[in-house]
Structure 1
């Protein structure tokens, strides 16, 4: 029995998925609750790949009706994917679980499976080859594509909201956001390929060359590889708390005396303790030092200083970096070393913050400094 390239890639995907599904909960304690959902997703993905191998390799009309069973997984990827990213990005104090409504499409598909098995092998095969199941299959797959696209949009909105809240609560960028962006790109490509395959098969009446099941089965292991690579290497994710919009926009949250007191304490922490040098500084950590709530501090920064927590902290880091340049420390140290010393956790974060504040790149600024 010869193996095609697609079969080989699928086998690799199965092996990778099983390995990660077992090791992530045991060996990787970071982001434990999210990784539990990820492990389940990996198991389901592997089950789909195994089903694909069996469908191609097993000969016999008796197996046709059984080939429908793994398709239930298609209705679970979206809800579980959304649950994974909710647990990855949002603090566990904010409870979120899948409601029954999210499992309803999978439950309805189970009723279709009951119908398939009630028909029996001969009855199902008769309807299958006569074309009586063409429109039911068309409806089921169309709903599956729309549902997965719907959850894709929900995850995309979650990512956008997270990036906004990240700037309000963290003074640094995290690799998890880039990880999610890569997954989002791969996911939309798979959905578009799937949609193209659907369009060709059911609407145009013929299969398009690069939009078919083989492409989708290659893409699924690819997503597994990406998930495995990032999930194993990523550190603990700093989750954010989605604040009540009405509370955060309350113009009278603090009275003038409280505002002045908080500003004085904040100035002392910046000037004397230089808290901005902590490259993992968070809103909660700084508010604890100020002995106030994170909502109060966030309100102060947004409404009085007219800035986000991220921008507020990084302006002092940039000022400290510029001071080091004035002291000619860049002649004996690398720029990366200097940016770490002033509190940045990555060169990309430093470069972006520097350009936003100084309006030019660090290298151009240093060139101008040398020419003086």
Structure 2
């Protein structure tokens, strides 16, 4: 089993080295990959280098080489969070972001002074007293807590971003690949937590042995993401939108809102802007002659819907009207939905069921 793990470590090490070289020496690929992903690869390179140096016996089997892998532990979670934030908001790196790495620096210094600098005699004495294993368990617990916290922050930011888009867009962005990345990392962390608690009340070696596979799992997830990001550079380039500011300063009176509601409904019926599959709230606000925040207030206070549901409400009405024409004989339900402005079958089905309380096929079977 150790041979297999060592082979995987070698593979991951050379793969991360290769990707770093591509990033450093290829201007084209440097533009295609997020800088935080490149740093994640560097973190993995550090984490895997300790084990590679140890098992290769270039410097004999010096246990201190394994501790080099510990340098990467607290760098990982913060970088995943900053990568998530930059992908969703296009927020570039700023000096203040270095604060996220202060715990990692403190952690690395402790590892150096506690594990690497002391003599063999001091380390052996700590092992005999049981002190070393206690310290390792504490450090692993700190690492898990730190990484899980940043993972939750990353997931929360992603879910909040996806939910906020419903106030700006009338269509669904393809964000599943990004979500799958976070889920895969989360599964690895969950398994690691399980093994850690088992080791606290059982054999100490359980967590130590499983940690090798968990870290390799995380490594290959990130290496795959980096490689795929180079091949399909738009996979993590989620378009950034300026979400509406609060409309508390809006000067529109209640009478103005009532008038605008009538104008909006007339415009939706006459000009049918919802037929634009990529319609954004900012575009609709311009057509109505008001600001984006003012349209947000109008939808909230007079329509009672977010932008996504409001536009798709009209698309569903258009779909039902089309389904009663001769076009229904030539097109499938989704074909008609596309004619009505939908660009996603999933969005169409969810919107139809939410509005009509049933599926399109069930709805029209009742009509017959």
Q: Place the TM-score, normalised by the shorter chain, in its bin.
A: 0.7 to 0.9
Q: Deviations over 1:38-63 (max 9, x none)?
A: 22223323442343333333376663
User: Do the aligned partners of residues 19 and 261 (structure 1) sit closer, same or farther apart at CA in structure 2, a change above 3 Å counting?
Assistant: farther
| In 2, Cα distance between equivalents of 1:85 and 1:199 | 28
Q: Is the 8 A contact 1:90 1:239 kept in 2?
A: yes
Which secondary structure state, in structure 1, belongs to the residue aligned with residue 134 of structure 2?
A: helix
Which secondary structure state, in structure 1, belongs to the residue aligned with residue 304 of structure 2?
A: coil
Cα RMSD of the aligned pairs, angstroms, is 3.4
User: Do the aligned partners of residues 78 and 274 (structure 1) sit closer, same or farther apart at CA in structure 2, a change above 3 Å counting?
Assistant: same
Written as runs of structure 1 = structure 2, the 5 A alignment for 1:296-307 is 296-307=294-305
- Give the match for residue 293 of structure 2: 295
| In 2, Cα distance between equivalents of 1:269 and 1:19 | 56
Deviation larger for 202-211 or 74-83: 202-211
User: Do the aligned partners of residues 205 and 13 (structure 1) sit closer, same or farther apart at CA in structure 2, a change above 3 Å counting?
Assistant: same
1:220 aligns with 2:221: no
Q: Is the 8 A contact 2:47 2:68 kept in 1?
A: no
- Give the match for residue 75 of structure 1: 74
Q: CA deviation at 1:124?
A: 6.0
Deviation larger for 233-242 or 187-196: 233-242
1:37 aligns with 2:39: no
1:239 aligns with 2:240: yes
Deviation larger for 6-15 or 283-292: 6-15
Which secondary structure state, in structure 2, belongs to the residue aligned with residue 254 of structure 1?
A: coil
| In 2, Cα distance between equivalents of 1:13 and 1:271 | 58
| In 2, Cα distance between equivalents of 1:122 and 1:4 | 27
Q: CA deviation at 1:216?
A: 0.4
| In 2, Cα distance between equivalents of 1:224 and 1:192 | 17
Written as runs of structure 1 = structure 2, the 5 A alignment for 1:3-42 is 4-10=3-9, 13=12, 22=22, 26-27=28-29, 35-42=34-41
Which secondary structure state, in structure 1, belongs to the residue aligned with residue 323 of structure 2?
A: helix
- Give the match for residue 142 of structure 2: 143
Q: Normalising to structure 2: TM-score of the pair?
A: 0.83
| In 2, Cα distance between equivalents of 1:219 and 1:158 | 24
Deviation larger for 356-365 or 288-297: 288-297
Q: CA deviation at 1:258?
A: 2.9
Flag structure 1 segments of 5+ consecutive residues without an equivalent.
Answer: none
Q: Which of residues 332, 335, 349 is equivalent to 1:334?
A: 332
| In 2, Cα distance between equivalents of 1:179 and 1:363 | 30
Q: Is the 8 A contact 1:10 1:49 kept in 2?
A: yes
User: Do the aligned partners of residues 67 and 16 (structure 1) sit closer, same or farther apart at CA in structure 2, a change above 3 Å counting?
Assistant: closer
| In 2, Cα distance between equivalents of 1:230 and 1:311 | 33
| In 1, Cα distance between equivalents of 2:98 and 2:208 | 37
- Give the match for residue 196 of structure 1: 194
User: Do the aligned partners of residues 119 and 41 (structure 1) sit closer, same or farther apart at CA in structure 2, a change above 3 Å counting?
Assistant: closer
Which secondary structure state, in structure 1, belongs to the residue aligned with residue 218 of structure 2?
A: helix
- Give the match for residue 318 of structure 1: 316
| In 2, Cα distance between equivalents of 1:60 and 1:125 | 18
Q: Is the 8 A contact 1:62 1:121 kept in 2?
A: no
| In 2, Cα distance between equivalents of 1:112 and 1:291 | 61
User: Do the aligned partners of residues 363 and 42 (structure 1) sit closer, same or farther apart at CA in structure 2, a change above 3 Å counting?
Assistant: farther
- Give the match for residue 165 of structure 1: 164
Deviation larger for 233-242 or 148-157: 233-242
User: Do the aligned partners of residues 29 and 324 (structure 1) sit closer, same or farther apart at CA in structure 2, a change above 3 Å counting?
Assistant: farther
Q: Deviations over 1:156-204 (max 9, x none)?
A: 221332233111111111221x223323322222112212232233442
Deviation larger for 351-360 or 48-57: 48-57
| In 1, Cα distance between equivalents of 2:87 and 2:219 | 22
